[in-house]
Structure 1
Amino acid sequence: MTLHRLIALLAWMLPLAVGTAADSTLTIEGKAGLGQGQHIVFVTGEEYYRSEEGMSMFAKLMARHHGFNCTVLFATDPASGHINPNRNKNIPGLAALDRADLMVIFARFRELPDADMKHIVDYVNAGKPVLGIRNATHAFRYSPGSSSAYRSWDFQSKEWRGGFGQQILGDTWIAHYGKFQKEATLVHVNPEQRGHPVLRGVGDKLFCHTDVNSVERLTADEVVLFRGQVLSGLKPADPPVTDQRKDVRMPFAWFKTYTAPSGRQGRSFTTTAGASLDWLNEDLRRMMVNAMLSLTGHEKEIPERTDVSFVDDYQPRPTGALADSVWTAEKLTPASFAPKSK
């Protein structure tokens, strides 16, 4: 192990040794792979798409197959410590971002205390890479009259137009373009980007269970890899809709070079995929893994067919918000999503 990687590993392990937020996060040490010595932090916290399932799956995959140290953060009930994404003001462990090489964020309408939010803001202001998934375009929403120092990160911000979503990822929340839980997405490759390294081993047409989102504010500088077309149902064999939307293909996955409030620039990758069911599609998993490799400096090393096999049995649950009573009864903790084998 090189001195650089040893120092990185010790920096990653130190907070666990001193007993900070370790009990409320999932940490997985990387094995052999391109990402040895690097650290990915997955920030989850949304009510509909089972991000706690999907991001834990990716953390295991990136650690076991590609060598990254991975930390998964969860929205939890402050009283019980159990996972409950309906609690929008509590994501323990955000200090992990202080030592992260990549932030993967899949959050919706969070209103975090300033002391916690500062870790996200500092990470972005450093110009570090960001991977945003679906609801991340509207990751933050502040109450009317909020005095937070970070209220401009709100998805409807006029001060910093469109907030985090528009400024860092490329767009903020507009609307569902396909019907939620009724119309899936047929994903088409952008022929101009067919040779992009992130598309190695990824097909030209993909099925995505999640519906198409409206994306209207990308600029000519963004690099769109895929576009999404609305299907008439939720099965891969369902044809496209026949109404006025039939020929519209919304941006589905793209890269952006962002400028942080600090003035520093960084890279982001965003996809409007996101339901835990989506990741059953091997091509969508490979798109995600290749994007993470690209954002962490390994774009030239992306293989022709990146390993995206599941580490554990993956049985995702359907899309849809769950009542507090369900989360209370389930008593899920970060340890519930830990790898089943060493």
Structure 2
Amino acid sequence: MDGLLNGAKIFKSAVILVFAALFCIQNMYGQEAEQWITFEPAHGTDNGQHIVLVSGDDEYRSEEAMPLLAKILSNHHGFKTTVLFAIEPGSGEIKPNFQNNIPGLENLVSADLMVLFTRFRELPDDQMRYIDEYVQAGKPIVALRTATHAFAYSENSESEYAKYSYNSSVPGWEGGFGRKILGETWVDHHGDHGNEGTRGLIDGINERYDHPIIRGVYDIWGPTDVYGTRELEGEVDVLVWGASTKGMTPETPINWEKSIMPVAWTKIYRLEQGNTGNVFTTTMGSSEDMESEGFRRLLVNACYWALDMGEEVPEKTNVDIIGDYSPTNFGFGDFIEGLKPVDYK
């Protein structure tokens, strides 16, 4: 009898240990999943494409802009979307000024398109390798605002990915990811930062030829100022030019004393091994810029074009805002503290 009782106790203890282990595993994966968010398209609307949107800048509130864009792409256009954030490891909270951690980049393995909006990130090699593998495969990219200077290697200059740094001098990668892949790296503020906005001027020749990215795009304005560029690198086609406005509201006139600069263009990037990929870059893109219907339409159309789906862009792409959207003013340290990715669902 004692043997049977002891056996029952051992069995009970084993069952408890198994369930405890399963709970821990489930909890571990649950915590991991909370570090990013995914939006599934409504039943019957899935177009089979997966877009991964990577946020992580400490000034222009990409952590607000990317979830809005993801919702529009998923709800209105049938894309599966996944949004990644800069996460403080200890708290699991979104910390845009935490430069060294963007969990979930392994989602790029299954991504058909990467939308990138980061600034001066120095990611560990085990994260950065997913971005590098994506780029080396020649897969498409849509890049916003600070993505021209998406990476900055100051501490780990010996990393194999240091060539991605905005100020890289590696032969063939001068100017880093921005110059090599997108067409330009960080140059300067052409507009008066914090005092002038950007009025988008649609390129008339591309409009006449009905370029799908600017189809139905008639009005673009945002409070972020015009970035300076040099002659863009590679096979580049400018679609939107940026004029500085004399104030921070859509009604303010253009500052005609300043020249215009490219603020949105396409490029075919080419790598040493021969792979090529579609790129759309815009130097606009703060969370406040996303209030412009014309700018949202430009971005959604660009996602279609980057995926070689330009023929599917309608005359007026649906870019209606989903839910409440009250963007935070851009600025360093002005992000909303204490939020986790699930708060943007």
What's the TM-score once normalised by structure 1's chain length? 0.88
Q: Report how far residue 220 of structure 1 moved.
A: 7.0
**Mapping 1:242-321, distance limit 5 Å:** 243=257, 245=258, 248-321=259-332
Aligned to 1:237: 251
1:201 and 1:179, CA in 2 relative to 1: closer, same or farther beyond 3 A?
same
Question: Which segments of 5 or more consecutive residues in structure 1 lack a partner in the other structure?
Answer: 1-15
Cα deviations by residue, 1:175-234 (Å, 9 ceiling, x for unpaired) = 01001111001110111110211111110x522221000111314731111000111111
CA distance in structure 1 between the partners assigned to 2:156 and 2:107 by the alignment: 30
Q: Report how far residue 145 of structure 1 moved.
A: 6.1
Q: Secondary structure at the match of 2:269?
A: strand
Contact 2:239/2:264 (8 A) holds in 1? yes
Question: Which segments of 5 or more consecutive residues in structure 2 lack a partner in the other structure?
Answer: 1-26
1:200 to 199, 209, 215: 215
Aligned to 1:121: 132
Contact 2:60/2:331 (8 A) holds in 1? yes
1:305 and 1:141, CA in 2 relative to 1: closer, same or farther beyond 3 A?
same
* Number of residue pairs the alignment of both structures matches: 316
* Runs of 4+ in structure 1 over 4 Å off: 16-20, 32-35
CA distance in structure 1 between the partners assigned to 2:220 and 2:71 by the alignment: 24
Q: Which amino acid aligns with 1:288?
A: L
Aligned to 1:45: 56
Cα deviations by residue, 1:68-89 (Å, 9 ceiling, x for unpaired) = 1110000011110100011000
Q: Report how far residue 261 of structure 1 moved.
A: 4.7
Aligned to 2:226: 212
**Mapping 1:18-167, distance limit 5 Å:** 21-31=32-42, 36-143=47-154, 146-159=157-170, 160-167=173-180
Q: Which amino acid aligns with 2:288?
A: L
Aligned to 1:226: 240
CA distance in structure 2 between the partners assigned to 1:219 and 1:156 by the alignment: 15
CA distance in structure 1 between the partners assigned to 2:321 and 2:254 by the alignment: 30
1:145 and 1:27, CA in 2 relative to 1: closer, same or farther beyond 3 A?
closer
Contact 1:125/1:263 (8 A) holds in 2? no
Q: Secondary structure at the match of 1:60?
A: helix
Contact 1:27/1:70 (8 A) holds in 2? yes
CA distance in structure 2 between the partners assigned to 1:162 and 1:151 by the alignment: 11
Q: Secondary structure at the match of 1:256?
A: strand
Aligned to 1:10: none
1:152 and 1:67, CA in 2 relative to 1: closer, same or farther beyond 3 A?
same
Q: Secondary structure at the match of 2:205?
A: helix
Aligned to 1:186: 199
Q: Which amino acid aligns with 2:221?
A: F
CA distance in structure 1 between the partners assigned to 2:198 and 2:118 by the alignment: 21
Q: Which amino acid aligns with 1:177?
A: H
Cα deviations by residue, 1:49-74 (Å, 9 ceiling, x for unpaired) = 11111100011111111111110000
Aligned to 1:333: 340
Q: Secondary structure at the match of 1:168?
A: helix
Which structure has the larger Rg? 2
Q: Report how far residue 238 of structure 1 moved.
A: 1.6
Q: Secondary structure at the match of 2:75?
A: helix
Contact 1:97/1:119 (8 A) holds in 2? yes
Contact 1:32/1:65 (8 A) holds in 2? no
CA distance in structure 1 between the partners assigned to 2:115 and 2:164 by the alignment: 17
CA RMSD of aligned residues (A): 2.0
Report the more deviating stretch, 141-150 or 178-187.
141-150
1:219 and 1:113, CA in 2 relative to 1: closer, same or farther beyond 3 A?
closer
CA distance in structure 1 between the partners assigned to 2:110 and 2:162 by the alignment: 24
Report the more deviating stretch, 141-150 or 91-100.
141-150
Contact 1:31/1:68 (8 A) holds in 2? no
Q: Secondary structure at the match of 2:228?
A: coil
Q: Secondary structure at the match of 1:21?
A: helix
CA distance in structure 2 between the partners assigned to 1:212 and 1:149 by the alignment: 32
Percent of paired sites with the same residue = 43
Contact 1:125/1:261 (8 A) holds in 2? no
CA distance in structure 1 between the partners assigned to 2:240 and 2:61 by the alignment: 23
